[in-house]
């Protein structure tokens, strides 16, 4: 026997073998449709008896295996069922002839046979025959199962007659010698009258009768005969048949202990009535029935027709432990015979299945190791594949998963052996996939992101490379890209620098023909390969959603109830709502994005590869709001540290947007990387509210940009900084251009100002404007421009600078008689750029140290479009820096009587602190021209007035102010009164005769 049956089980020893084959041309679909119905009749209860017959069907059975039927009767094909198509009556004789030829192949062992004819009707089909059944079609054949049952009963009749015939042989001492095929030549010329020969014949016949009893459903009788055969054959050292008797004894004991079978669900057997035999309750009883067969129970010819006495006194069944010992002994005896290699291999397989039920994995592995080294004849490649596959399944059965994977991988490599003309790459790929669990390998990349790495990385990488190569040879480049991407993603930490370069080069080569996608791949056998996002190329460690720039951040208009009041609930606080929204608050960010505006997300990434990494098409993945992602491309240096990358996009609708991750294209593989799937990532939240669209205002001015940035204490960000230089008392117009650069109309505008300089005393309005002129041009459509004019007037008090007064005294200018805080003295300095080319060594009034700086912020609150309807606006700030220089101040003030008693002459010593020639005029007087640094006296005739008649400061200021504050308020009011009566104005002549104005605090 040369073809092993790897599906053999111990319980198969009690089955009758029936071969089912087609005759003539029968389609495979029709044949297996009938074959499955025949196989459904796997056990039949014998009439008027408690015995059950078990049937084993095969649609292919080598005739040479049939020659071992006397050695083990379950190997003998005792039944033949043929299926044929016959459409015409004239074809019937030829069909019947083919049936007879088919019977001759197994003719020496057949008990009975049947022919099922499909498609033939008429006179021929109406002729009654016991061995032929006619059916009109494969669909209309309701009696197939019943005919098979009748056929099995006919087999039982023959089996029972043979059992009784062998057991009641009356031929004296002439018991025939049963032989296996290779023994026949060895017994030629032996002395058939010797006692040794007779015992050999008796022992073999007793073993044969035990096989027949087991097939006939007489388990206890079979056990008795097997025990007797063991004793007889052991006495004559007939090791081959002794091994068969021991195996039969083991099989009968297995059937007793494990009535459910040893082949798993497929091999499970069901007893009649759905219940197990009563003796199954006694299994696993240690030490049960240890009495051996009494040799005196044998008759002179070795066959006693009545075995009832032995049944009561025999050790009917082996214990579970003894079963394995007997299997070991039997296999050791089989190993003595080269031609019994197939029998030895099958016995090992049966023992392994028994040990698997007993959960004795280590002993089972010893049997399998023995099976690996059993030397059979020169096997074909297909037989080698089958052998390694069965070894893999058996190792899986006993829990040796890695060993199982090893043999399945060997089987896969055998499918594409060089000796095969047409390598089976699909079969190789399928077997390689089945090895993955054994090596702790899964094709789902998420299994590798949880905890530490499991399995041997070197073996796993080798297996993945083989999957890539097999899929390429199959002609499926998409599959190759998927496996290679998986290798790069999951095994990156175990690849050397050179291996990383090789793998990425191969991946780029594959993706040039078939780009990698995020679509699942479904194999023909239904296996789904999930997508493999390359989250490690690059590795992202931190994700931060960025707020809009200060000038574009939306602000909510405050209501009477407060900004945080929810309109959805009448309660100020609800613990139920707060608890249910706890998780939402942890993910939601406290700023808003605006529909239609560019939004930014910052990622901190680094490149783990030993070469420059080019990332293309990197953008954001969002949900909840329609979002236009603006992809970016970046190049990261080799093994870079954390590198900031900003991804941008534009929300197209309003609502709540969630940033779920990002997408990349690396080495031709498109990846969707979700933040929830990334290990060790830090984020400040992933959900933000998108409010309706607002207009965008851009401002430009007629002033140059300032080199100094304003730093307000409130922390407000200022978008634009401008600066200007003024003489004290000078007024300059600032033209501000307002342009709507957005897509929504600009409907509302509010302008406010805030002075940052707190230590300087300002007189009058520093900044003033007429907003109505600008609002008359509203609403501003996208692209339209409006102009706002702001007047800047610097009115400061320079009299408090002691160093400046000291400079004037040094120059011979009298300043005596005036307190330093006198409101009647105004000290001004010339512009820096107009200083004399050869200044004196000492400090002069025009030095930069005498310049004062004013800083102010102009705030533009504007709104429009859908955002305005929802109560949102934007705030744009303009920073203004004004450098104020001294201009004209008075060093001495005196009076002289005038011709009228109601008037007097006011004498003023005027000093020009600038480096320009200027003219000074008063109401009703001629202009006085002063050169740079010149001091002259000016007489002005004015009406007399009394300071004591001035009213006290009204309102709350006067009620709650301190005496010092009240005095300052009085002096300020007197100064304003004097200035209004005098009407002093000055102008620098060289500035095209432009009148620059007069100081508000002249006296």
Asked if residues 348 and 368 have their Cβ atoms less than 8 Å apart, the reply is yes
DSSP type of residue 457: H
Per-residue pLDDT at 288: 31
Confidence category of residue 975, pLDDT binned at 50, 70, 90: confident
Question: By percentage, how much of the chain surpasses pLDDT 90?
Answer: 52
DSSP letters, 715-755, are: ----SEEEEEEEETT-EEEEEEEEEE-SSS-B-EEEEEEEE
- Domains of the chain in start order, with CATH, are 10-158 (3.40.50), 447-529 (no CATH), 539-557+589-691 (2.60.40), 697-805+850-884 (2.60.40.10), 887-950+963-997 (2.60.40)
Number of DSSP helices (H) and strands (E) in the chain, helices first = 25, 35
Question: What are the structure tokens assigned to 70, written together?
Answer: 């006397």
Per-residue pLDDT at 306: 46
Helix spans in 168-295 (H): 195-215, 219-235, 239-257
Question: What are the structure tokens assigned to 880, written together?
Answer: 């203004």
pLDDT mean over 963-975: 76
Indicate if the pLDDT at residue 758 is higher than 60: yes
Reported as type and span, the H/E element at residue 157 is helix 144-167
Indicate if the pLDDT at residue 744 is higher than 80: yes
Per-residue pLDDT at 353: 96
CA distances to 66, 77, 78 from 108, in Å:
9, 9, 9
Confidence category of residue 230, pLDDT binned at 50, 70, 90: very high
pLDDT in tens, 836-863: 333 444 334 445 457 888 888 999 999 9
Question: What are the structure tokens assigned to 751, written together?
Answer: 């302008």
CA 370 to chain CA centroid, nearest Å = 45
pLDDT in tens, 664-708: 999 999 999 999 888 878 887 789 999 999 999 999 998 888 777
Asked if residues 840 and 881 have their Cβ atoms less than 8 Å apart, the reply is no
> To the nearest 10°, the Cα dihedral for 383, 389, 395, 398?
-100
Sequence-separated (6 or more) residues with CB below 8 Å from residue 637: 607, 612
pLDDT mean over 160-173: 75
DSSP type of residue 75: G
Query: How many CB atoms lie under 10 A from the CB of residue 464?
Result: 23
Asked if residues 815 and 808 have their Cβ atoms less than 8 Å apart, the reply is yes
Per-residue pLDDT at 268: 45
Question: By percentage, how much of the chain surpasses pLDDT 70?
Answer: 82
> To the nearest 10°, the Cα dihedral for 585, 591, 593, 594?
120
Reported as type and span, the H/E element at residue 161 is helix 144-167
Sequence-separated (6 or more) residues with CB below 8 Å from residue 515: 481, 668, 669, 670
| 159 burial type by CB count under 10 A (0-12 exposed, 13-18 middle, 19+ buried) | buried
pLDDT mean over 185-206: 83
Confidence category of residue 574, pLDDT binned at 50, 70, 90: low
CA distances to 67, 186, 239, 548, 651 from 336, in Å:
20, 16, 8, 87, 82
Per-residue pLDDT at 55: 96
pLDDT in tens, 169-179: 555 557 888 89
Asked if residues 935 and 958 have their Cβ atoms less than 8 Å apart, the reply is no
**Residue in this structure with the two tokens 């320009």, named with its chain if needed:** 916
- Give me the phi and psi of 737, to 5 degrees please: -95, 125
pLDDT mean over 982-988: 81
> To the nearest 10°, the Cα dihedral for 674, 675, 677, 680?
150
Nearest to 368 by CA among 385, 333, 393: 393
Q: What angle do CA 926, 927, 930 make, to 5 degrees?
A: 145
- Give me the phi and psi of 426, to 5 degrees please: -65, -45
CA 807 to chain CA centroid, nearest Å = 78
d(CA 107, CA 77): 9
Per-residue pLDDT at 764: 75
The more confident residue out of 191 and 144 is: 144
**Residue in this structure with the two tokens 């992101």, named with its chain if needed:** 449
Nearest to 349 by CA among 317, 387, 379, 378: 387
pLDDT in tens, 874-920: 999 998 988 888 888 778 888 888 888 788 888 888 888 888 888 88
The more confident residue out of 795 and 569 is: 795
Per-residue pLDDT at 854: 87
Confidence category of residue 822, pLDDT binned at 50, 70, 90: very low
Per-residue pLDDT at 430: 94
Per-residue pLDDT at 102: 93
Confidence category of residue 80, pLDDT binned at 50, 70, 90: very high
d(CA 537, CA 741): 39
pLDDT in tens, 286-338: 333 333 343 333 333 334 444 444 443 345 799 999 999 999 999 999 999 99
Question: What are the structure tokens assigned to 537, written together?
Answer: 């190329």
Indicate if the pLDDT at residue 509 is higher than 60: yes
Question: What are the structure tokens assigned to 115, written together?
Answer: 């022919």
CA 546 to chain CA centroid, nearest Å = 25
| 523 burial type by CB count under 10 A (0-12 exposed, 13-18 middle, 19+ buried) | middle
pLDDT mean over 721-730: 86
Asked if residues 706 and 857 have their Cβ atoms less than 8 Å apart, the reply is no
- Give me the phi and psi of 960, to 5 degrees please: -110, 0
Per-residue pLDDT at 478: 94
pLDDT in tens, 524-561: 888 899 999 999 999 999 999 999 998 899 999 875 33
Confidence category of residue 927, pLDDT binned at 50, 70, 90: confident
Cα-atom radius of gyration of the chain, to the nearest Å? Answer: 55
Query: How many CB atoms lie under 10 A from the CB of residue 316?
Result: 23
d(CA 810, CA 933): 13
Indicate if the pLDDT at residue 826 is higher than 70: no
Asked if residues 74 and 215 have their Cβ atoms less than 8 Å apart, the reply is yes
pLDDT in tens, 592-602: 999 999 999 99
Please give the mean pLDDT across all residues of the chain.
Answer: 82
Indicate if the pLDDT at residue 256 is higher than 90: yes
Confidence category of residue 184, pLDDT binned at 50, 70, 90: confident
pLDDT mean over 372-385: 86
* Rounded (10°) angle between helices 361-372 and 341-358: 160
Indicate if the pLDDT at residue 415 is higher than 90: yes
Sequence-separated (6 or more) residues with CB below 8 Å from residue 266: none
d(CA 169, CA 781): 118
Per-residue pLDDT at 828: 37
pLDDT in tens, 780-814: 999 999 999 999 988 887 765 545 444 444 444 44
The more confident residue out of 23 and 588 is: 23
CA distances to 466, 825, 828, 913 from 805, in Å:
94, 10, 11, 12
d(CA 389, CA 395): 10
Indicate if the pLDDT at residue 490 is higher than 90: yes
pLDDT mean over 940-958: 64
Nearest to 356 by CA among 370, 367, 345, 346: 367
pLDDT mean over 974-1001: 65
Asked if residues 255 and 10 have their Cβ atoms less than 8 Å apart, the reply is yes
Per-residue pLDDT at 845: 44
CA distances to 182, 528, 909, 978, 986 from 927, in Å:
147, 99, 14, 19, 9
């Amino acid at each position: 026997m040369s073809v092993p049956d790897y599906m053999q089980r111990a319980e198969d020893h009690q089955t009758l073998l029936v071969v089912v084959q087609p005759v003539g041309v029968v389609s495979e679909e029709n044949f297996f449709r009938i074959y499955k119905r025949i196989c459904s009749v796997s056990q039949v209860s014998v009439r008027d008896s408690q015995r059950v017959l078990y049937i084993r069907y095969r649609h292919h059975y080598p005739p040479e295996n049939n020659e071992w039927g006397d050695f083990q009767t379950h190997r003998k094909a005792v039944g033949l069922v043929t299926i044929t198509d016959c459409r015409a009556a004239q074809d019937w004789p030829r069909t019947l002839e083919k049936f007879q030829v088919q019977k001759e192949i197994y003719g020496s062992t057949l008990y009975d046979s049947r022919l099922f004819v499909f498609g033939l009707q008429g006179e021929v089909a109406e002729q009654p025959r016991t061995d032929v059944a006619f059916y009109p079609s494969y669909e209309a054949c309701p009696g197939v199962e019943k005919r098979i049952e009748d056929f099995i009963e006919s087999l039982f009749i023959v089996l029972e007659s043979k059992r009784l015939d062998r057991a009641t042989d009356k031929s004296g001492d002439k018991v025939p010698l049963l032989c296996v095929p290779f023994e026949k030549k060895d017994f030629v010329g032996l002395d058939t009258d010797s006692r040794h020969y007779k015992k050999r014949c008796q022992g073999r016949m007793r073993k044969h009768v035990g096989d027949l009893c087991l097939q006939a459903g007489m388990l206890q009788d079979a056990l008795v005969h097997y025990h007797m055969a063991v004793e007889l054959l052991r006495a004559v050292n007939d090791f081959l048949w002794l091994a068969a008797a021991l195996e039969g004894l083991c099989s009968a004991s297995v059937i007793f202990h494990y009535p459910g079978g040893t082949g798993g669900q497929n091999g499970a057997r069901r007893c009649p009535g759905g219940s197990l035999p009563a003796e199954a309750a006694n299994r696993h009883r240690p030490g049960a029935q240890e009495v051996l067969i009494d040799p005196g129970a044998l008759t002179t010819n070795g066959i006693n027709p009545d075995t009832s006495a032995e049944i009561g006194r025999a050790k009917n069944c082996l214990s579970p432990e003894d079963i394995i010992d007997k299997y070991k002994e039997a296999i050791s005896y089989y190993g003595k015979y080269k031609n019994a290699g197939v029998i030895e291999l099958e016995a090992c397989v049966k023992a392994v299945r028994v040990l698997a039920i007993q959960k004795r994995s280590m002993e089972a592995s010893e049997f399998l190791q023995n099976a690996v080294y059993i030397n059979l004849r020169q096997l074909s490649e297909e037989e080698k594949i089958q052998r390694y596959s069965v070894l893999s399944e058996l190792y899986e059965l006993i829990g040796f998963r890695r060993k199982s994977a090893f043999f399945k991988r060997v089987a896969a490599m055998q499918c594409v052996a060089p000796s095969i003309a047409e390598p089976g790459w699909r079969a190789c790929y399928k077997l390689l996939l089945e090895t993955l669990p054994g090596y702790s390998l899964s094709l789902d990349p998420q299994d590798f992101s949880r905890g530490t790495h499991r399995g041997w990385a070197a073996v796993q990488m080798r297996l993945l490379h083989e999957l890539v190569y097999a899929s390429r040879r199959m002609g499926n480049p998409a599959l190759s890209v998927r496996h290679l991407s998986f290798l790069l993603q999951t095994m990156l930490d175990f690849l050397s620098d050179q291996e990383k370069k090789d793998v990425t080069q191969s991946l780029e080569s594959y993706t040039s023909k078939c780009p990698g996608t995020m679509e699942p791949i479904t194999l023909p056998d239904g296996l789904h390969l999930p997508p493999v996002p390359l989250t490690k190329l690059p590795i992202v460690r931190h994700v931060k959603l960025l707020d809009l720039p200060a000038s574009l951040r939306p602000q909510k208009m405050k209501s009477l109830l407060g900004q945080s009041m929810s309109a959805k609930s009448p309660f100020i606080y609800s613990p139920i709502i707060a608890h249910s929204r706890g998780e939402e608050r942890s993910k939601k960010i406290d700023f808003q994005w605006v529909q239609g505006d560019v939004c930014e997300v910052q990622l901190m990434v680094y490149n783990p590869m030993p070469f420059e990494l080019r990332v293309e098409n990197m953008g954001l993945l969002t949900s909840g709001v329609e979002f236009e992602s603006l992809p970016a491309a970046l190049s990261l240096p080799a093994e870079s540290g954390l590198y900031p990358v900003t991804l941008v996009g534009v929300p197209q609708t309003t609502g709540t947007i969630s940033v779920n991750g990002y997408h990349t294209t690396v080495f031709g593989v498109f990846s969707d990387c979700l933040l929830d799937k990334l290990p060790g990532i830090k984020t400040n939240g992933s959900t933000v509210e998108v409010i309706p669209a607002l207009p965008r205002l851009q401002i430009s001015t007629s002033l140059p940009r300032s080199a100094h940035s304003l730093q307000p204490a409130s922390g407000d960000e200022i978008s634009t900084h401008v600066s200007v230089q003024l003489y004290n008392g000078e007024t300059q117009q600032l033209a501000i251009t307002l342009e709507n650069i957005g897509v929504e109309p600009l409907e509302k505008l509010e302008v406010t100002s805030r002075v940052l300089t707190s230590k300087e005393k300002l007189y009058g309005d520093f900044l003033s404007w007429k907003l109505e002129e600008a609002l008359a041009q509203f609403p501003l459509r996208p692209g339209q421009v409006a102009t706002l004019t702001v007047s800047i007037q610097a009115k400061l008090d320079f009299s408090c600078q002691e160093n400046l007064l000291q400079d004037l005294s040094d120059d011979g200018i009298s300043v005596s008689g005036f307190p330093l805080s006198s409101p009647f003295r105004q000290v001004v300095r010339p512009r820096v750029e107009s200083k004399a080319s050869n200044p004196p060594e000492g400090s002069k009034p025009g030095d930069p140290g005498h310049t004062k700086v004013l800083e102010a912020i102009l705030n533009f609150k504007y709104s429009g479009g859908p955002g305005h309807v929802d109560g949102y606006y934007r705030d744009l700030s303009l920073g203004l820096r004004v450098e104020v220089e001294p201009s004209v101040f008075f060093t001495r003030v005196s009076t002289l009587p005038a011709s009228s008693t109601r008037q007097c002459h006011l004498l003023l010593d005027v000093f020009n602190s600038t480096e320009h020639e200027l003219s000074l005029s008063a109401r009703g007087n001629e202009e006085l021209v002063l050169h740079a640094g010149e001091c002259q006296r000016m007489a002005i005739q004015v009406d007399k007035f009394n300071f004591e008649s001035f009213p006290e400061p009204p309102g709350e200021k006067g009620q709650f102010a301190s005496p010092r504050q009240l005095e300052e308020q009085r002096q300020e009011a007197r100064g304003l009164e004097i200035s209004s009566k005098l009407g002093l104005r000055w102008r620098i002549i060289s500035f095209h005769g432009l009148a620059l104005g007069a100081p508000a605090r002249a006296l």
